[in-house]
Amino acid sequence: MTQAWNIVVMRGGPSAEREVSLRSGESVANALRRLGHHVTEIDPRPCQWMLPDHTDVVFLALHGTYGEDGAVQGELEHLGVPYTGCGVEASRIAFDKVLTKNRCAATGVPVAKSLVVDSPETPWPKRWEPPVVLKPVRQGSSVGLQFVERVEQWPAALQEAFKHDSQVLVEPKIIGAECTVAILGGKILPVVEVRPRSGNYDYQSKYTKGATEYLCPAPFNAELTARIQAAAEGAFSAIGGRDYARVDIMVRQDGEPVVLEVNTLPGMTETSLMPKAAAAAGMSYEYLCQRIVELAMARAVASAR
């Protein structure tokens, strides 16, 4: 490292993903300190935080509402302070699963059919057959995710999903391989295949030790790997992404990739999926954190010219 920066790591925040964010931010802050940077940690609430004097850049390790939805990005833009990751508009789009699907579909990126439900009293949709997946439109980390295997499960599952947002996305449950693709500075990282032992990659499977097996690089042939990575790159471009993100994808049994969502501030604990992909590409965790900061600083230097 040639230069030490004053870096603020934002972690925690008010969202349902607070605990995960605290762990992400702690890992990032420790890595940046090991690299010799001056690091301050802030647990922000909307309009209730201040940056230290001489802050060079903010590393966003927030997840969910007031993290990935463009809100804190907008406040940092107003302050004129560089920050890591996607900008305001890309964050807003990616955090909304419906907007993301619309952008992807408009640019030819493969997505599943879907409908949006606006009331927890909505009856089972006509011309649909189980199994289906219910997703709060604006949440992450599988918060509120519900799998409906039989029609009689629909009312209870819908009530649970609506605890987390005012709209719920309904999609057919895709049978196939679940994977994720990280993008860093224009580089597509190796595909990670996710194999939850329960069969469903829900919140419990994500955050219970030993509940999920991860294979990276994923054991797909070169042709399928290229199609998966192309779908991820297409989704990242469709939402107007920059610097880095992680794209979640299902691969149907016939080999067709289907984009699920774009995570603009993916988990950053040392065992999270993006660091796993980076490690498979030969990057240390410290290098990954440093590279994310460098991308933000390079943008700031370019805009100052």
Query: Which residues belong to the active site?
Result: 17, 141, 207, 246, 248, 261, 263, 267
> How far does the chain reach from its first CA to its final CA, in angstroms?
23
Q: Please name which of 126, 164, 127, 119 lies closest in space to residue 146, comparing C-alpha atoms.
A: 164
Q: Are 257 and 269 in contact (CB under 8 A)?
A: no
Distance, in Å, from the CA atom of 256 to the CA atom of 293, rounded to the nearest integer, reads 35
Q: Please name which of 194, 246, 191, 251 lies closest in space to residue 222, comparing C-alpha atoms.
A: 191
Tokens encoding 210: 């030993």
The 10 Å CB-count burial string (b at 16+, else e) for 177-208 is bbbbbbbbeeebbbbbbbebeeebbbeebbee
Q: Are 87 and 299 in contact (CB under 8 A)?
A: no
DSSP 213-263: EEESS-S--HHHHHHHHHHHHHHHHHTT--SEEEEEEEEETTS-EEEEEEE
Distance, in Å, from the CA atom of 135 to the CA atom of 101, rounded to the nearest integer, reads 13
- Residue 255: which residues within 8 A CB-CB, separation 6 or more? 224, 227
Measured in whole angstroms, the distance separating CA 177 from the mean position of its chain's CA atoms is 18
Q: What are phi and psi of 207, to 5 degrees?
A: -115, 15
Distance, in Å, from the CA atom of 137 to the CA atom of 195, rounded to the nearest integer, reads 24
